[in-house]
């Protein structure tokens, strides 16, 4: 069994708003809403596991650092099996503009 997590860089985005001193996730954009075969679609029909975790846990799912923008593309990974139970899983997201993530993506492309 491979213990390395796979990062999906598949077009998920978040829109952010500023509320006084707080940055809030105002919208989560899943590019796979009509694709039941997409990796982010889990146990509930038309239910994106990325949207579920971001709606429920917000920035607690974030492991990256990037300047705040109105709209940010994110990559994501999951630990667990969402086809059985979301509550037994953990989703992590990272802005694709995160300096370390961007460098890692380039290194992965040069390997292939």
Write down the domain spans for the chain: 13-111
Six token digits for residue 81: 């099996």
Six token digits for residue 64: 């990256």
Taking only the tens of pLDDT, the chain with its 112 residues reads 445 778 999 999 999 999 998 999 999 999 998 788 888 887 665 589 999 999 999 999 999 999 999 999 999 999 887 677 788 889 999 999 999 998 888 887 766 6
pLDDT of residue 112: 60
Provide the sign of the torsion angle of the four alpha carbons 38, 94, 90, 17, taken in this order. Answer: negative
**How many CB atoms are closer than 10 A to CB 50?**
28
pLDDT of residue 16: 96
Instruction: Report the distance separating Cα 91 and Cα 14, nearest Å.
Output: 15
């Amino acid at each position: 069994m491979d213990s390395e997590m796979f990062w999906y860089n598949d077009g998920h985005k978040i829109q952010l708003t500023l509320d006084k001193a707080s940055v809030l996730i105002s919208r989560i954009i899943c590019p796979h809403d009509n694709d039941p075969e997409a990796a982010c679609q889990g146990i509930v029909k038309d239910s994106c596991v990325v949207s579920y975790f971001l709606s429920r846990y917000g920035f607690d799912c974030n492991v990256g650092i990037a300047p705040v923008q109105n709209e940010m593309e994110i990559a994501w990974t999951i630990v667990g099996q969402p086809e059985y139970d979301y509550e037994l899983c953990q989703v992590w997201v990272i802005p694709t503009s995160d300096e370390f993530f961007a460098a890692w993506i380039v290194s992965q492309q040069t390997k292939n």
